[in-house]
Amino acid sequence: MRGIGSKRHTSTKYVTLSLYLYRSLRGEQAIAVIKREVYLVDNLAANLLISVDILAPEAIEINMKNKLITLGNCEGIIVPIRITPRGERTRIYVKASK
């Protein structure tokens, strides 16, 4: 696996995972289910990575500002997410030239 920092990670194991997300939809209790093959990676800094090969087919939209995801393939259920920054914030200043 590449593209996660400068390190390479290998994975030889995978499982089929069913992810259940419980929310209210139009006043009714709803359950969104996403079932996908996921790869198990030892010593990965992130607890869970969801890549575009899952985000795009499931029509998942991430709203970082409001900390929400919208599940397009599950009748548009909106689920709150927790975002936990790790380490110090880095400020990068960009100057534009004409």
For the chain, the domain total comes to: 1
Q: Is 8 within the bounds of a domain? A: no
Q: Is 59 within the bounds of a domain? A: yes
Would you state the pLDDT for residue 45? 67
Give the C-alpha separation, 65 to 54, whole Å: 21
Q: Is 47 within the bounds of a domain? A: yes
- Structural domain of 68: 13-80
Q: Is 4 within the bounds of a domain? A: no
Q: Is 92 within the bounds of a domain? A: no
Average pLDDT for runs of 10 along the chain of length 98: 63 86 83 86 71 85 92 88 77 81
Would you state the pLDDT for residue 67? 92
Would you state the pLDDT for residue 4? 59
SS (H, E, C) 18-34: EEEEEEEECCEEEEEEE
Q: Is 86 within the bounds of a domain? A: no
Q: Is 40 within the bounds of a domain? A: yes
- pTM, rounded to two decimals: 0.64
Q: Which long-range contacts (CB under 8 A, 24 or more apart) does 14-20 make?
A: 14/38, 14/39, 14/40, 15/40
